[in-house]
Amino acid sequence: MKKTMTRLADGRELIYYDRADDAVRSAPDRRPLGAATSSSEVRVDRLLREEIGYAAHRQGRTFMPPADRCPLCPTVGDRLSEIPESSYEVAVFENRFPSFGDGTGRCEVVCFTSDHDSSFADLDEGGAALVLDAWTDRTAELLRHPGVRQVYCFENRGAEIGVTLAHPHGQIYGYPYVTPHTARALDSAAAHRAAGGGNLWDEVVAEEVADGRRIVLDGEHWVAFVPHAARWPYEVHLYPRRRVPDLTALDEDQRAEFPRLYLDLLRRFDRIFGPDAPPTPYVSGWHQAPLGDDPPLPREEFALHLELFTIRRGPGKLKYLAGSESGMRAFVSDVLPEAAAERLREVEGQ
C-alpha cells in the first residue's frame, strides 16, 4: 500500500491510498476555498450519563446533489470536487462539515472508489483489502490525536438510512468520549468478569458457534452470526476468532481472509429481499476498544467486531423506530434471529 498525504485548498488533510507503490498523486485543489471552520460542542445528559454532540454548521452541508456535481467523484476538467485527482482508489479527507472538531474529536470521509455508480459490494478483494488498510491506518493515527477517545469506522448506505451523498463512501469518527453503546458493553463485561466469568465477548462468540443456528458465514479466522438478541430485522456481527482490541492488532491471516467474507456478507444483504429488490440500505461499523485513564476493563479485553444491519424488514417495508424504540429504547423486532440467519445462508453472496 502507498499512502500519499496532501492538503485541500482550505487546509484540510487529504490522504490517498493506492495498491501500486509507484502511484503518483500530485494534483492541486483548484477551488477558491477559504480556511475551513467548524463549531461543535458536547453536553452531558446528567440523568442518562450520555454525551450529546452539537454541530449547528452541519445544517448547510451538501444534500443529495446530482451525479455530475458529486463532491466525492474525482475532479474532471472544470468540474472540481473534494478529490483533485482525475481518478483514485481510496481517498480519505477531513469532513468539511464535521460532527466533532476544534479539539472535540475529528471526523473524516472515506471514499471507497472513484466509481460513483458502484458500491462497497462491487469492489474486488484487493479493493476491499485496501479499504481495510485505510481504516487501520486512520485508526492508528486518530488514536494518537489529541482529544480522541474512541475511533469508529462506519458506512451508511441508502437514502432510507439518511445518507446525503450517493457516492460509495463511509466515515470515521474520532469521538472525544466513549460512546454509550461501548460504555454499556464494557460495564457488562466488567461485571461478568467480577462475578467470576471469563471474557464476555469470547463467551458470546463461543456460544453462537456451539449453537450454530444463527451462524451465517464460518471462516478460518472470522465468524459471522445473527446475535441471539438482534435488535434489527437483519443484523450480523462479524468477529475475528482470535480476539483483538482494534483494527491495528489484526494479524496477516485475519487481514487476508476479511475481504472475501465481508464482500460475501454485503452481497448476501443485497439479495435478502429477492433479485429484483433495490439495494439494501444498511449501516456497517467497526466497534473498537476506546482509550481511557480508568477503564472498567484492560483495553486488550475488548473484542474488535463489525456490526452490520438493515432497517428494511421486508420488500418495500422499513423498520421505523417509533414510540417504544425511540422513546424508551425498548426494541421489538419483526424477524426472529434464527429466521434471519437462515435467510442469509440461503441467498448467494458470491
Residues in the annotated binding site:
70, 73, 116, 167
Partners of 145 in beta bridges:
none
Task: Select which of 145, 169, 221, 228 is catalytic.
Answer: 169
What values do phi and psi take at 206, rounded to 5? Answer: -60, -40
287 has catalytic annotation: no
Listing DSSP states for 194-206 in one string gives HTT---HHHHHHH
Q: Please report where in the chains the cell 421486508 appears, as a residue.
A: 314
C-alpha span between 50 and 44 (Å, rounded): 6
* C-alpha distance across the termini of the chain, in Å: 26
**In the structure grid, which three cell numbers stand for residue 146, read together?**
489529541
Residue positions forming the annotated binding site for Zn(2+): 70, 73, 116, 167
**Tell me, what DSSP letter sits at residue 105?**
-
C-alpha dist (Å) from residue 232 to 76, 226, 293: 41, 10, 33
Give the number of other Cβ atoms within 10 Å of residue 342's Cβ: 14
Contact 128, 113 (CB under 8 A): no
Strand, helix or coil at 175? strand
Question: Which long-range CB contacts under 8 A does 262-265 form with residues at least 24 apart?
Answer: 262/128, 262/238, 262/306, 263/120, 263/121, 263/123, 263/125, 263/128, 263/349, 264/217, 264/349, 264/350, 265/216, 265/217, 265/224, 265/236, 265/238, 265/308, 265/349
Q: What are the residue numbers of the active site?
A: 169
